[in-house]
Amino acid sequence: MALLINGVEIEDTFAEAFKMWGTRVIITAKNRKWAWEAATKMTGFATSVIGCKCEAGIEGDVEDTLDGRPGVSVLFFTPSKDDLPKRLMERIGQTVMTCPTTACFNGLEAADKLSIGGQLRYFGDGYQGSKLVNGRRFWRIPVMEGEFLIEAKLGMQRSVGGGNFLVLGEDPDVTLEATERAVEAMKQVRGMILPFPGGIVRSGSKTRSKYKFLIASTNDAFCPTLRGCVQSELPEGVNSVLEIVIDGLNVQAVEEATRVGILAACIPGIRRITAGNYGGTLGQFKIDLHRVLGEAAPA
Amino acid sequence: MTRLTLNIQSNYPLEAEAITPEKFSGKSVAEIAGLPVLYGNEQCQIGDFFTVNGNGSEGIELEGDLAHVKYIGAGMRQGKITIHGNAGMHLGAQIHGGEIEVHGNTGDWAGAEMTGGTIRIHGNAGHGLGGAYRGSRHGMNRGFIWVGGNTGNETGALMRRGLIVVQGRTGDFTGAFMLAGTVINFGGLGSRPGAGMKYGTLVTYQEPELLPTFHYDCVYQPGFLRLILNDLRRRGVSVADELVGGNYRRYSGDFTSLGKGEILVYDQH
């Protein structure tokens, strides 16, 4: 049954999302500028596990931090439990420890723990020391600036990656405006991040290719320039498609972000909103668009 | 809440290891009054010295000058003891958990070799606070001690983990032979602070007289100290903003030992 929001058709379909492992890292610094510098570097080139081995993004500012300084919350995801510490070691070691004035703390209470500070401490070459504060261990690593402080263990938990929806618009400008509005609205939802640049993807992919060396290639069914060449999924009048991909610490956060984002994206000039899936055969989570919009959707 | 009021004053020591929330738990007033205490070398009962009221729940309140009553709360694991008056030696020694609050002074060895829990002393504390008994390899190993007044010698000696905060002065050999942990002193250190320390941190807000075996490192803003001072605020201890974000001179030592300990001196300049 068709669902219309502000005249925009919401297709009766679902986003297919996958199990991931996720963690939350709190980065603090002397001021907001340096906290964001570190967080931005740490989450750079972390858009998709296909090419980046991890997905990461900035969740937002943190007001009440352990050391009382300005803080930023970063969410970090990998497909496997073993990959998470490897990727975090690389990224925290190269982007947070190197960044002036920063400190790094766990932001996720979870039964599973991963040792990052406990490994990174060896950079101290024997001069590292630790402090146990209120039951939590922190490593002090001497660096040229002074000391880098990092919590010994971070919590990690089963998470959700690959939540998504596609915005089909009449032209690139209105499609970009709709997705920008969606991203702004979705930033208010905690527990999830949008790993792509500005939260928006223009080159959505399908999981096959005519080339044997590629595991993913352009999503031709949604490419306007290929409307006449392939079995297109684009309705008449659609000339641009943008996608928003969502990773969350739990499925509730992904669903809430989907709901908030779709509602914000329904502006004049948008013809349809749909979602990417593989027929429900690959992903562990089905995020049904009509269900998440529920009764909140205005007619 | 069980309330014990001391009704006999004596110069002889009274060893009252039975005064812990665990040992009182679930007992009637009569049963609590029948718990054993050692008066000098004589086996007696709590009821011989205290008037007992209450219902035997885990909270205990003690009233009177208990300066000669030893081992109050020693070894306890949970619950709370509040003392309205002074307390004797070994208060909260070797406790594993729970909380003890003293609205008065305490004798020597308060919190000695404790492995958890919280002790708050609003008056002064004696020697060996959070320290190690003679022959022991380490003293306090986790937990939190706050003293509103001054403390005696060897505060935090051989400390292994945990946090001691003293608002007033600490005596000689503060943090001697420390193995880890943190002692924060607001009112000034006695002589030879940190003597023989291997690891651990002494923080002071008054100019100390340091041993020559401590070497100056730098002036900096230690990040871990922000955590500790913010944690103190959450525990209700007043800490000025300038101390949290301030500069500290770092001295490494003691180089007669491993030399991986540190004394941090608040730098007002």
Task: Tokens for A280, please give them.
Answer: 């429900």
Question: How is domain A20-157 classified at the CATH fold level?
Answer: Alpha-Beta Plaits (3.30.70)
| Contact of A146 with A103, CB cutoff 8 Å | no
Question: Would you call B142 an interface residue with chain A, using a CB distance cutoff of 8 Å?
Answer: yes
> What separation in angstroms does the CA of A21 have from each of A45, A198, B10?
18, 23, 65
Longest dimension (CA), chain A: 67
Task: Tokens for B218, please give them.
Answer: 């730098």
The predicted pLDDT at position A215 comes to 86
Instruction: Tell me if A67 and B226 make a contact (CB, 8 A cut-off).
Output: yes
CA dihedral A56, A60, A63, A64 (to 10 degrees): -30
Average pLDDT along chain B: 95
Q: Which residues from A are below 8 Å from B162, CB to CB?
A: 132
Query: Chain A: residue nearest B161 by CA?
Result: A132
| Contact of A63 with A200, CB cutoff 8 Å | no
For tokens 């909260």, what's the residue? B92
The whole-angstrom separation of Cα A149 and Cα B257 is: 25
Same CATH topology for A3-16+160-296 and A20-157: the answer is: yes
Question: Would you call A66 an interface residue with chain B, using a CB distance cutoff of 8 Å?
Answer: yes
**pLDDT band, very low/low/confident/very high, at B54 (cuts 50, 70, 90):** confident
CA dihedral B145, B151, B154, B158 (to 10 degrees): 10
Q: Mutation test of the interface with chain B: which of A133, A137, A138, A145, choosing the one with the most B Cβ atoms within 10 A?
A: A133
Position B176 in a domain: yes
Question: Would you call B267 an interface residue with chain A, using a CB distance cutoff of 8 Å?
Answer: no
Q: Which residues from A are below 8 Å from B228, CB to CB?
A: 131, 133
Q: What is the mean pLDDT of residues B75-94?
A: 97
The predicted pLDDT at position A172 comes to 97
Q: Which residues from A are below 8 Å from B221, CB to CB?
A: 146
| DSSP E strands, A185-297 | 192-193, 205-206, 217-218, 240-248, 270-274, 285-288
The whole-angstrom separation of Cα B64 and Cα A85 is: 57
Instruction: Tell me if B199 and A129 make a contact (CB, 8 A cut-off).
Output: yes
Tally of domains in chain B: 1
At A164 the three-state DSSP class reads: strand
Cβ within 8 Å of A, B 221-260: 221-224, 226-228, 230-231, 244, 260
Instruction: Tell me if B222 and A147 make a contact (CB, 8 A cut-off).
Output: yes
The predicted pLDDT at position B8 comes to 86
Task: Tokens for B252, please give them.
Answer: 């490494």
The whole-angstrom separation of Cα B134 and Cα B136 is: 6
Instruction: Indicate the residue of B142, B182, B223 with minimum beta-carbon distance to A149.
Output: B223
Q: Count how many Cα atoms sit within 13 Å of the Cα of residue A274 in the half-sphere of its side chain.
A: 16
Q: What is the mean pLDDT of residues B238-248?
A: 95
Q: What is the mean pLDDT of residues B224-239?
A: 95
Query: Chain B: residue nearest A142 by CA?
Result: B222
> What separation in angstroms does the CA of A294 have from each of A10, A14, A259, A260, B7?
12, 13, 9, 12, 71
Q: Which residues from A are below 8 Å from B142, CB to CB?
A: 132
DSSP annotation of B120 reads: E
Q: Is the pLDDT of residue B170 over 70?
A: yes
Residue B232: which domain range? 108-267
Position B248 in a domain: yes
Exposed / middle / buried, residue A125 (Cβ in 10 Å: 0-12, 13-18, 19+): exposed
Question: Would you call A152 an interface residue with chain B, using a CB distance cutoff of 8 Å?
Answer: no
Question: Would you call A100 an interface residue with chain B, using a CB distance cutoff of 8 Å?
Answer: no
Q: Which H helix or E strand runs over B265?
A: strand B261-267
Instruction: Tell me if A68 and B230 make a contact (CB, 8 A cut-off).
Output: yes
Position B223 in a domain: yes
At B138 the three-state DSSP class reads: coil
Q: Which residues face A55 on adjacent strands?
A: A77
Q: Percent of chain B, pLDDT > 90? A: 93
Pairing of strands B161-166, B182-185: parallel
Q: What is the mean pLDDT of residues B213-231?
A: 97
Position B218 in a domain: yes
Q: Which H helix or E strand runs over B126?
A: none
Position B11 in a domain: no
DSSP annotation of A235 reads: P
Position B13 in a domain: no
Instruction: Indicate the residue of A68, A69, A149 with minimum beta-carbon distance to B224.
Output: A149
**d(CA A59, nearest CA chain B) in Å:** 23
Question: Would you call B220 an interface residue with chain A, using a CB distance cutoff of 8 Å?
Answer: yes
Q: What is the mean pLDDT of residues B109-135?
A: 97
Q: Which residues from B are below 8 Å from A97, CB to CB?
A: none
Q: Mutation test of the interface with chain A: which of B163, B227, B252, B258, choosing the one with the most A Cβ atoms within 10 A?
A: B227
Instruction: Tell me if A146 and B244 make a contact (CB, 8 A cut-off).
Output: no
| Strands, sheet with B69-70, edge to edge from the N-terminal-most edge strand | B42-45, B36-39, B14-15, B69-70
Single out the residue of A1, A13, A16 nearest to residue A273, CA to CA. A13
The predicted pLDDT at position A298 comes to 53
Query: Chain B: residue nearest A28 by CA?
Result: B223
Instruction: Indicate the residue of B161, B218, B224 with minimum beta-carbon distance to A140.
Output: B224
Single out the residue of B200, B102, B199, B224 nearest to residue B151, CA to CA. B102
Domain map of chain A by residue range?
Answer: 3-16+160-296, 20-157
Longest dimension (CA), chain B: 62
Question: Would you call A44 an interface residue with chain B, using a CB distance cutoff of 8 Å?
Answer: no
The whole-angstrom separation of Cα A123 and Cα A121 is: 5
Q: Give me the long-range contacts of B41-48 (CB less than 8 A, separation at least 24).
A: B46/B4, B46/B16, B46/B18, B46/B19, B48/B8
B254 prior amide bond cis, ω within 30: yes
**pLDDT band, very low/low/confident/very high, at B56 (cuts 50, 70, 90):** low
| Contact of B174 with B150, CB cutoff 8 Å | no
Instruction: Tell me if A146 and B221 make a contact (CB, 8 A cut-off).
Output: yes
Position B47 in a domain: no
Tens digits of pLDDT across chain A (299 residues): 679 999 999 999 999 999 999 999 999 999 999 999 999 999 999 999 988 999 999 999 999 999 999 999 999 999 999 999 999 999 999 999 999 999 999 999 999 999 999 999 999 999 999 999 999 999 999 999 999 999 999 999 999 999 999 999 999 999 999 999 999 999 999 999 999 999 999 999 988 899 999 988 999 999 999 999 999 999 999 999 999 999 999 999 999 999 999 999 999 999 999 999 888 777 899 999 999 998 555 54
Task: Tokens for A281, please give them.
Answer: 């055969």
Question: Would you call A134 an interface residue with chain B, using a CB distance cutoff of 8 Å?
Answer: yes
Q: Which H helix or E strand runs over B131?
A: none
Question: How is domain A3-16+160-296 classified at the CATH fold level?
Answer: Alpha-Beta Plaits (3.30.70)
Position B57 in a domain: no
Q: Is the pLDDT of residue B65 over 50?
A: yes
